[in-house]
C-alpha cells in the first residue's frame, strides 16, 4: 500500500515535483534497505551523548593532533580523536579483560573498526600489525582467540574448556604429571548439594581466569595467513554464533554472523559478562559502539537519500 501511495498522481503533481521526488526516492530506498538497517538493533544502546560527533560532522574534516593528517572524527593511524573532537567528550570503557587485535597488513586503515576499540578502551586494547605479534605460548591457559572454526566453542563453554588448558599448563610448568590435577573435583553424590555448589563456583572461577582475548582484524579472505601462524596454534578458539552483523561493509557470500571487529568485541564482552561473570548486563560496554552506531546512522541516511540499497 505504501508503494502504491508513493506512485500516486496526487503525490507526483507538477507543483512540487522536485521535493516529492526526493522524498519518494528516500522512502523507496528505505523499503529496499536490508532488514538489519530497518530494524536498527543499535538504537537500544545506552550511549554517551553523540553531540560532539554531530558538531564535528557539520564542521567537516579536521587535523590529527599528532600527524596533522586530515581526518573525520578520529585518526585511524594515530588512534586519537581529531582536533574538533575533544578527548574529554569521548566516553571511555573499562573492560574486564585485556584485548589484543592483530591487524592484517593489507587491511585498509580507514575501513577498519578496530581503532574504535583503542579509542574507547585505550587502557585495555592493544593493536598489532601482523606479523609483529606477541608470543602467547606460555599464557595459553589464560588467553582465547575469537575465530569461527570447527574447533571453536561458545562463550558459555569457556569455563569448561579453560579447565583443560589450565591443567595442561600446571602439568607442564611443574614437570610432574604423576600428581593429581590441581583442579580435579570430588565425586558428587546426589544428596551432596554443597559439593555441587562448590563445583559450579569452581567452574566460574576458571572462566574468570581468562585474562586476554585476541581478535583478528582483516577481511575474511585474508584471515588464513594469520590464523595459521604458529604463534596462535593451540589457543582456545571461541565463536560468536548467535549475533548478526550490522556492518555496512559486510562481505558478500559470508554468513551474517561474521561480525566487524568492534561488533565482535562488543558482543563477546556482553556474553562474557552474562555467561561467565554471571552478572546482569546494564549497558556497561555499550559505548564501545559509540562511533560505530553514529556511522551506522550516517550511512543509513545517506543510502536512503541516495536511493541505494
pLDDT digits (tens, 9 = 90+) for 84-128: 999 999 999 999 999 999 999 988 888 889 999 999 999 999 999
Contact 143, 165 (CB under 8 A): no
Q: Is the peptide bond between 131 and the residue preceding it cis, with omega within 30 degrees of 0?
A: yes
Say what the pTM is.
0.73
* Nearest of 288, 258, 277 to residue 125 by alpha carbon: 288
**Mean pLDDT across the chain, nearest whole number?**
76
Give percent of the chain above pLDDT 90. Answer: 48
pLDDT, mean of residues 59-74: 96
For residue 40, count other CB atoms closer than 10 A to its CB.
13
Residues 21, 2: Cα–Cα separation, whole Å: 15
Angle 170-172-176 (CA atoms, 0-180°, nearest 5)?
A: 85
Q: What pLDDT does 141 receive?
A: 87
Query: Quick one: which H or E segment has residue 262?
Result: helix 261-275
Return the SS3 of 146: strand
253-297 per-position pLDDT tens digit: 565 656 889 999 999 999 999 999 999 999 999 999 999 999 988
Cell of 33: 534497505
Q: Which of 278, 283, 262, 139 is nearest to 207 (CA)?
A: 278
Task: Tell me the three cell numbers of residue 103.
Answer: 591487524
pLDDT for position 94? 97
Amino acid at each position: 500500500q505504501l508503494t502504491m501511495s508513493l506512485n500516486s498522481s496526487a503525490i507526483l503533481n507538477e507543483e512540487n515535483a522536485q521535493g516529492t521526488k526526493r522524498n519518494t526516492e528516500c522512502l523507496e530506498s528505505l523499503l529496499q534497505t536490508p532488514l538489519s538497517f530497518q530494524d536498527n538493533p543499535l538504537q537500544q544502546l545506552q550511549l554517551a551523548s553523540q553531540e560532539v560527533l554531530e558538531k564535528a560532522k557539520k564542521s567537516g574534516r579536521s587535523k590529527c593532533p599528532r600527524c596533522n593528517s586530515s581526518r573525520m572524527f578520529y585518526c585511524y593511524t594515530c588512534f586519537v580523536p581529531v582536533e574538533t573532537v575533544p578527548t574529554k567528550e569521548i566516553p571511555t570503557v573499562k573492560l574486564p579483560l585485556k584485548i589484543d587485535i592483530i591487524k592484517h597488513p593489507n587491511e585498509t586503515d580507514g575501513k577498519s573498526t578496530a581503532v574504535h576499540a583503542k579509542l574507547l578502551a585505550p587502557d585495555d586494547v592493544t593493536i598489532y600489525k601482523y606479523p609483529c605479534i606477541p608470543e602467547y605460548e606460555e599464557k595459553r591457559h589464560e588467553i582465547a582467540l575469537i575465530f569461527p572454526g570447527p574447533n571453536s566453542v561458545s562463550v558459555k563453554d569457556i569455563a569448561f574448556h579453560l579447565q583443560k588448558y589450565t591443567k595442561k599448563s600446571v602439568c607442564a610448568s611443574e614437570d610432574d604429571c604423576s600428581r593429581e590435577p590441581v583442579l580435579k573435583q570430588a565425586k558428587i553424590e546426589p544428596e551432596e548439594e554443597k559439593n555441587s555448589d562448590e563445583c559450579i563456583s569452581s567452574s566460574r572461577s576458571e572462566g574468570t581466569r581468562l585474562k586476554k582475548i585476541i581478535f583478528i582484524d582483516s577481511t575474511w579472505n585474508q584471515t588464513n595467513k594469520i590464523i595459521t601462524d604458529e604463534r596462535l596454534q593451540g589457543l582456545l578458539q571461541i565463536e560468536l554464533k548467535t549475533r548478526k552483523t550490522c556492518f555496512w561493509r559486510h562481505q558478500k557470500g559470508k554468513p551474517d554472523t561474521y561480525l566487524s571487529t568492534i561488533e565482535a568485541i562488543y558482543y563477546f564482552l556482553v556474553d562474557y559478562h552474562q555467561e561467565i561473570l554471571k552478572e546482569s548486563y546494564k549497558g556497561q560496554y555499550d559505548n564501545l559502539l559509540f562511533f560505530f552506531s553514529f556511522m551506522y546512522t550516517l550511512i543509513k541516511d545517506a543510502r536512503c537519500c541516495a536511493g541505494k540499497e
